[in-house]
Amino acid sequence: MPDCHFEAILPSWLKEFFAEHSEALLSDSERMKFAIELARQNVINGTGGPFGAAVFERSSGNLVAVGVNLVVQSNCSHAHAEMLALAIAEHRLSSYTLNQPGFPGYELVSSSEPCAMCFGAIIWSGVTRLVCGASTIDAKHAGFDEGAKPEKWIAELENRGIEVATGICRNKACAVLQLYLDNGGVVYNGRAR
């Protein structure tokens, strides 16, 4: 097999956006508006799908990492906003888990509830809290295949010590899904032919 290297290249606008938003965000609403704006900027700039995510220190509100959906642009089905935000946070902290002794505790804020893949990644990541905007139903209504996850997925996460808050700024998150559709964004899913 030839040498293989995978690299997800974040959009150029993201570096400046990250720098401009370095202040601590203390409320669920502030953090969610940030994640939704990531998704909106991704759509407006034509750099990816209508999903954004960020990892924050829970107590301080300090931003650790961001991610936007890059599935189509990177030719990689797992380049979801949540997956990238978690991977970047782990890389920045030099840890395969965000739940190491001495760490302040981290949360993932996502513009949409997790798909089946991101649900699994959340469990493995070590975050202790998940905050979501649009619902799985909203994403499915837009045409995205979210895959099979447990019917009581919130209870499953909570049983594993991960707190969950859903529906935060849901209408704003849904507006980004609609913006993507209105702009002719590619709605991808593994079952489409």
List, by residue number, the catalytic residues.
82
**Count of C-beta atoms within a 10 Å radius of residue 193:** 2
Structure-block tokens of residue 13: 């606008």
What CA–CA distance (Å, rounded) separates 164 from 133? Answer: 11
Integer Cα distance of 55 and 26 in angstroms:
13
Q: Left if phi > 0, otherwise alpha if psi is -120 to 50, otherwise beta: which for 20? A: alpha
C-alpha dist (Å) from residue 153 to 3, 69, 111: 38, 22, 17
Closest CA to 50 of 63, 37, 59: 37
Cα dihedral 109, 119, 169, 21 in deg (nearest 10): 20
C-alpha closest to that of 122 among 163, 93, 167, 182: 163
Distance CA 147, CA 155 (A): 18
